């Protein structure tokens, strides 16, 4: 049986650059063939299940070299909890627990083998952020599996969602791994203080994690995939500030999911999943809309013309066109006659206009003077000097000026040059 691709990783372990070949058998069943990686609490091996047609699986061994006994007991607690939490959970996006056993004072977990790599390794190899559409598809799958965990009885809080714990298999399916710190949730439970900097929300630092804590971790994971930068602890910023190509809708999703206040986040995984699946409608450019309307109008007009033309020339019961050649010639003659009459009328109108313009330039106007609007001509300097009032008070000067200007307006109609003395002004003298 050909072996699987050993280039993948598992449970966020440090991947060996080249899987080291090893060979030993556990429980007279699991033939270990290679060393995949080393983690904080254990070692991961590739093995074949000799009882199930040599099916490949992953064997995780708990470390046995802790310096303090209390550290070993805590690691053993996480190790057993992972088996207890995962064993009853059956979901296509959760790695399955196949077996647990103890041998030679060592503890082992046998798990489903996932051929693929985790998101952290994939982005490092890619060297740039993932496309937004790809990130949204992965996030939808993660939100779905979170809904499954949170709907379990009792609820399961993952508490360690981060790129290195999300694997993508060869069919582009998400697989959540490493449930070492996952635990059933109870309102009055005293949760342990286990965090992953940049992906754990504030409440998890004081042991108060709830389903909304996983929402925060999903938003932080999206931030990393969209920007290529690790989010700062408790300071997840807008991913659009780093990657301007991100849409406003996705940017708002990440910011809401990573809100510091739990009540400002999405209150459930289905609520966030609904936003992830929503695709905002893009506004069509106005010019394209106008072009489409014009195109439809032209097509409709052409269709109408073709319809009526076909009706007019369709053969009747006698096999001849409804409109004969004589009728068509008669219509053409009528149209030609109407055009000629129109041209004659236009020529007559132009002739009358030309005649009126010539007469208006050569003959004097026969209209009475009273009907012609008067042209006001400004007074000459001699008239202004002659009608200057004598020196007096300012009030008398203002009054005299008013009278003079009023009379000048009237006199200018009969004395444009302003040579005749004003009657009122003469009386005053």
Q: Which residues are catalytic?
A: 160
Kindly give the pairing relationship between strand 183-184 and strand 174-176: unpaired
Burial of 211 from C-beta contacts in 10 A (0-12 / 13-18 / 19+): buried
Q: Rounded CA gap, 161 and 139, in Å?
A: 12
> What CA–CA distances, in Å, run from 140 to 88, 270, 274, 337, 364?
23, 9, 9, 76, 93
Judged by DSSP in three states, 368 sits in coil
Q: Rounded CA gap, 321 and 3, in Å?
A: 82
> What CA–CA distances, in Å, run from 311 to 86, 210, 232, 315, 329?
77, 76, 76, 9, 19
Q: Is residue 121 within 8 Å of 196, Cβ to Cβ?
A: no
> Would you tell me the crossing angle of helices 211-227 and 132-150 to the nearest 10 degrees?
170
Query: Which residue matches tokens 């450019």?
Result: 285
Judged by DSSP in three states, 50 sits in coil
């Amino acid at each position: 049986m050909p072996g699987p691709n050993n280039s993948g990783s598992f449970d966020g372990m440090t991947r060996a650059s080249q899987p080291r070949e090893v060979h030993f058998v556990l429980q007279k069943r699991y033939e270990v063939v290679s060393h995949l990686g080393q983690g904080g609490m254990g070692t991961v091996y590739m093995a074949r299940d000799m009882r199930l047609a040599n099916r490949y699986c992953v064997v995780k061994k708990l470390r046995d070299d802790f310096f303090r006994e209390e550290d070993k007991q805590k690691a053993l607690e996480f190790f057993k909890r992972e088996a207890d939490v995962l064993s009853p959970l059956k979901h296509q996006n959760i790695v399955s627990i196949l077996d647990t056993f103890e041998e030679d004072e060592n503890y082992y977990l046998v798990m489903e083998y996932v051929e693929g790599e985790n998101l952290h390794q994939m982005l490092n190899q890619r060297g740039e952020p993932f496309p937004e559409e790809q990130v949204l598809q992965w996030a939808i799958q993660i939100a779905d599996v979170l809904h499954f965990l949170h709907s379990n009885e009792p609820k399961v809080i993952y508490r360690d969602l981060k790129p290195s714990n999300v694997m993508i298999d060869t069919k582009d399916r998400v697989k959540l791994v490493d449930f070492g710190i996952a635990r059933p949730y109870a309102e009055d439970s005293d949760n342990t203080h286990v965090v992953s900097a940049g992906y754990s929300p504030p409440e998890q630092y004081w042991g108060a994690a709830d389903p909304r804590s996983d929402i925060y971790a999903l938003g932080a994971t999206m931030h990393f995939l969209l920007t290529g930068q690790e989010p700062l602890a408790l300071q997840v910023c807008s991913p659009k500030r780093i990657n301007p190509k991100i849409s406003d809708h996705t940017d708002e999703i990440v910011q809401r999911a990573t809100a510091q206040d739990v009540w400002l986040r999405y209150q459930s995984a289905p609520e966030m999943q609904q936003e992830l699946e929503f695709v905002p409608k893009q506004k069509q450019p106005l010019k394209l809309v106008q072009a489409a309307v014009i195109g439809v109008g032209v097509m409709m007009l052409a269709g109408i013309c073709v319809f009526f033309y076909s009706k007019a020339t369709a053969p009747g019961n006698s096999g001849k066109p409804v409109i004969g050649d004589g009728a068509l010639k008669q219509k053409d003659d009528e149209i030609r006659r109407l055009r000629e009459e129109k041209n004659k009328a236009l020529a007559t109108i132009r002739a009358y206009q030309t005649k009126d313009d010539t007469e208006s330039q050569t003959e004097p106007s026969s209209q009475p003077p009273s009907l012609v609007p008067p042209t006001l001509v400004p007074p000459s300097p001699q008239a202004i000097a002659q009608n200057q009032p004598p020196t007096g008070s300012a009030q008398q000067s203002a009054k005299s000026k008013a009278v003079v200007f009023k009379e000048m307006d009237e006199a200018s109609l009969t004395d444009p040059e302003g040579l005749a003395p004003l009657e009122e002004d003469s009386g005053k003298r």
